[in-house]
Amino acid sequence: MEVLAFLIPIALFLGGLGLGAFFWALKTRQFDDPEGDSRRILTDDWDDRPKP
């Protein structure tokens, strides 16, 4: 059971990383246009070369 002393902090840390990533995404306004982002993936405008 001693392994729990490692596993629980590791689980919390990894979860915390995910939470941090979400905060970052929120701060950088990646949820401003969920509708549009889900559609943009379908356009082939910049398939051949990256957007300048």
Partner 1 sequence: MTAAFPARPSACPACAVAPSAEALAETSAPREARLFLSLPTIHCAGCISAVERALHATPGVRAARVNLTLKRVAVEADPEVMADDLVRVLEGIGYEAHELDAGVIAATATDKAGRDLLMRIAVSGFAMMNVMLLSVAVWSGATDFTRDMFHWISAMIALPTIAFAAQPFFRNALSVLKHARLNMDVPISLAIILAAGMSLYETAQHGPHAYFDAALSLTFFLLAGRYLDHRTRAVARSAAEELAALEVPRALRLRADGTEETVPIAEIAPGDRVRVKPGARVPVDGVVAEGQSEIDRSLLTGESLPAFAGPGMALSAGEVNLTGPLVVTVTAAGEDSSLNRMADLVAVAESSKNRYTSLADRAARIYAPGVHLLALAAFLGWLWISGGDMRLAINIAVAVLIITCPCALGLAVPAVTTAASGRLFKRGMLIKDGTALERLAEIDTVVFDKTGTLTLGTPEPTNLGDHARRDLEIALALAEGSAHPLARALADAARKAGVHPVPLTDIREVPGHGVEGVLGGKIVRFGRPAWVGAEAGDQTAAWLRVGDARPVAFTFADRLRPGAEEAVARLRAQGLAVRLVSGDTPAPVADLAARLGIEDWTAEALPGEKAALVQALGEAGAKVLMVGDGLNDTAALAAAHASVSPATALDAARVASDIVLLGSDLAPLGEAVTTARKATRRIHENFAVSALYNLIAVPIALLGFATPLAAALAMSASSITVSLNALRLR
48 binds partner 1 (CB under 8 A): no
10 binds partner 1 (CB under 8 A): no
Q: Which of 10, 23, 24, 30 binds partner 1 (CB under 8 A)?
A: 23
Distances (CA, A) of 12 to 6, 20, 49: 10, 12, 41
**Whole-number Å distance between alpha carbons of 50 and 37:** 17
- By CB under 8 A, name the binding residues for partner 1: 1, 4, 8, 11-12, 15-16, 18-19, 22-23, 26, 31-36, 39-43, 45
